[in-house]
A and B are shown apart, each in its own frame.
Chain A
Amino acid sequence: MDKDRALELYRKMVLIRRFEERLYQLFLTRPMPGSMHQYNGQEAVAVGVCAHLKKDDYITSTHRGHGHCIAKGAPTRAIMAEMFAKKTGCCRAMGGSMHIADFSMGMLGATGIVGSGIPVAVGAAWSCQYRESGQVVVSFFGEGASNEGAFHEALNLAGVWKLPVVFVCENNVYGFSTHYRRVTSVEHVADRASSYGLPGTVVDGMDLHEVYRVAGEALDRARKGNGPTLVECKTYRYMGHSRFEKASYRREDEVEEWKKRDPISSFGTFLRDQLRVPEEEVEGILDSVEKELDDAVRYAEESPDPEPQDYRQYIFAPEGA
């Protein structure tokens, strides 16, 4: 990974982290619509995977989608405006945090039903294969989704049709309040790949280098027509499951252990120590992130509310092909 690339990915991870921290403050200090599921701690996964994707490659996201959205290249203005339920939001105030997505950036939606994006990703991959477009698809989901039927049906279909899709399981240890080992029959979700005839790989999801390397191999395989891969990224969510709870089911020392391996801190150290990036250049990145987020919040604040009847135009598309 050269320096420019490293700086670009570092900035993306910081942008996601600071976006989430800003939102947390906004929810504390003013009335914000709805709720949210935050991505803090998992940044290396979205950034390390999406680094390999072109604008017209597709992803499906989850209820914890802010990070995927930013990593895939959606403008922070439109994402923030959606969080504020403003007319200028990327989903025109129709989705909010849970459905945050920018289709023009190849996002096929973020979904509030666990596991439900996986079959959609498989269908998109079938479309890429049929159209011989050379595009690939990534489906992000949590370890909890691997206990949904949709996961198993989708992986089987992708395996039998040899589709250009990479399944990225973000194992962040807890499904809401429940430790995954209490409700999951295997230690590694990646082991489930063998049931469907696909390779399954476990990767340290706190290490951007590792995610970047393994995702690159899997996507290369998909682009060459060699079929799907299941990549399990071992990671951790720093926040509660959603805005309303503080993760009292976890021990504080467990959280601290994971934070010692924080993906942004460790990649920052790599930039300074290995790539010899001067401190002021790192500071400059942090500064530009704050400016971008200041601008995004201002844009959201100043944007108009939707009209009460706006929803009507989105129920059905105008008829014709």
Chain B
Amino acid sequence: MPSTRIVQALNQALREEMDRDDRVVLLGEDIGVFEGSYRVTEGLQQRYGEARVKDTPISETAIIGAALGAALTGLRPVAEIQFNDFLACGMDQLCNQAAKIRFMLGGQVKVPMVVRAPYGATGRAAQHSQSLEAWFVHTPGLKVVMPSTPYDAKGLLKTAIRDDNPVLFLEHKLLYGATSPGGKAKTAVGELDEVFTPAPDHEYTIPFGAADVKRPGSDVTIVATGIMLHKSIRAAKQLSSEGIHCEVIDPRTLVPLDRETIIDSVKKTGRLVVVSEDVLSCGVTAEIAAVVAEHALFYLDAPIRRVAVPDTPIPFAPVMEQAVIPQVEDILKAVKSVVYR
């Protein structure tokens, strides 16, 4: 059965890789007996045993450090951090140790580890809602992956597990397609369209650094990740009825970033809107805008527009959360501002 939900696709990727390679081991909070706070590891401890699927204490430093130590000594660990916000507790192990150890040791070691973490705003206030990808893009030595569909999630996670470098794998909570155990996080899957491609049962991987053009177009380039990709697709559909044809690109991996696909698209359309759920300053939208400004400035017919969270923590009240998280309306407005000039 093809996986129509990201949570299934990730589970399938983990099973395939664990079947294929004994060295793949899992650790994290509540991933074993409870099967993961978002159910990504459902059935895995039962199938692979407690020695291979480890429930850990609430110790993010120890989780990431243990993954690193295991990776240096012959295993290929996949660690789950329950919310990407909690990565802050394990920052030293991820950013000072895992990201740099091969570098500091002059290439004597490989670090084949994956750290998975959910991100994105779901009504849980400022410490459980962030999109922190820019922190890690800013740390050379880490690869950063952000899938937006079940198809991409499976293929990219398999590539991440086989990669000999530390990979941060960020999963949007509203794209999992499963409600959290608290039952309050609504799924956005029902509102998505055909670009939300299912993951087939058969074996495949997706290379890092290969952006995917999710919707071709000729007038405006939109670059977006995660759930913003789907909001951008919705905006593009509406705009096409007005005769504006958007090309919507999902970078899929922020490190390595497929600059070429983005630059080529802007050279064709002459307009760029970048959409992201992280904050504006020094964020992903800033980086992509800078890349295009450096390499395709004279192809631009209008200023670059960025749609991102203003420089604020995520507020709790739904009405305020919705106000700071980019919506389809914000994307429509940004596109129109670069088209009607």
Contacts and interface: CB of A to CB of B under 8 A. Distances in A.
Bound pair: A and B?
Answer: yes
Interface of A: 58, 60, 89-95, 99, 101-104, 108-109, 111, 113, 116, 118-128, 130-131, 137, 149-150, 153-154, 156-157, 160-161, 311, 313-321
Nearest to B89: A149
B69 A99 contact: no
Given A91-B105, A92-B106, A103-B109, A123 B96 contact: no
Interface centre among A60, A119, A150 (most CB of B within 10 A): A119
Contact of B108 (A91, A116, A313): A91
A320 B164 CA distance: 6
Interface string B98-112: 000111111111111
Contacts of A150: 61-62, 65, 92-93
B144 interface: no
Contacts of B96: 111, 113, 116
Contact of A119 (B66, B102, B104, B208): B66
A130 B70 CA distance: 10
Most chain B CB within a 10 A radius of its CB, from A153, A157, A318, A320: A153
Given A124-B73, A150-B61, A153-B59, A94 B104 contact: yes
Given A101-B105, A109-B105, A321-B164, A127 B69 contact: yes
B74 interface: yes
Interface in B115-137: none
B103 A157 contact: no
Given A123-B69, A126-B66, A319-B163, 10 more contacts: A91-B104, A94-B107, A109-B109, A111-B97, A113-B96, A119-B62, A120-B72, A123-B70, A126-B54, A316-B143
A99 B105 contact: yes
27 contacts: A94-B104, A95-B106, A101-B105, A108-B69, A108-B73, A109-B104, A111-B96, A111-B97, A113-B96, A113-B97, A116-B97, A120-B69, A120-B93, A121-B69, A123-B73, A124-B69, A130-B70, A131-B74, A149-B61, A150-B61, A150-B92, A156-B57, A156-B62, A311-B103, A315-B141, A319-B165, A321-B112
Contacts of A131: 74-75
B69 A313 contact: no
Contacts of B234: none
Contact of B65 (A90, A93, A122): A122
Interface in B26-76: 51-52, 54, 56-57, 59, 61-62, 64-76
Contacts of B110: 317
A198 to B, nearest CB: 15
B186 interface: no
B61 A92 contact: no
Closest 3 CB pairs of A and B: A123-B69, A119-B65, A92-B106
A123 B65 contact: yes
B106 A93 contact: yes
Contacts of B214: none
B-side interface mostly: mixed
Contacts, number: 162
B162 interface: yes
A165 B162 CA distance: 28
Given A92-B106, A93-B106, A109-B101, A317 B73 contact: no
Contacts of A319: 162-165, 208
Contact of B103 (A116, A160, A315, A320): A315
B2 interface: no
A263 B259 CA distance: 59
B25 interface: yes
B108 A104 contact: yes
Q: What range describes how many residues of B lie at the interface? A: 35 or more
B72 A108 contact: yes
B162 to A, nearest CB: 5
B77 to A, nearest CB: 8
A11 to B, nearest CB: 26
A127 B102 CA distance: 19
A317 B59 contact: no
B140 interface: yes
A156 B58 CA distance: 11
A314 B106 contact: yes
Contacts of B105: 91, 94-95, 99, 101, 103, 109
Contacts of A156: 57, 59, 62
A276 to B, nearest CB: 43
A121 B97 CA distance: 12
Given A104-B108, A119-B69, A157 B165 contact: no
Contacts of B143: 316
Given A116-B92, A116-B96, A130-B52, A124 B70 contact: yes
B61 to A, nearest CB: 5
Contacts of B162: 319-321
Contacts of B76: 321
Contacts of A91: 104-106, 108
Nearest to B58: A153
Contacts of A130: 25, 51-52, 70, 75
A108 B102 CA distance: 10
Contacts of A118: 65
Given A119-B93, A130-B75, A315-B141, A154 B106 contact: no
Which of B54, B65, B97, B208 neighbours the largest number of chain A CB atoms within 10 Å of its CB? B65
B106 A120 contact: no
A109 B105 CA distance: 7
A124 to B, nearest CB: 4
A118 to B, nearest CB: 7
A313 B107 CA distance: 8
A157 B56 contact: yes
Contacts of B54: 126, 161
Nearest to A121: B69
A157 B104 contact: no
A153 B164 contact: no
Task: Name the residue among A58, A60, A90, A131 with the largest chain B CB count within 10 angstroms.
Answer: A131
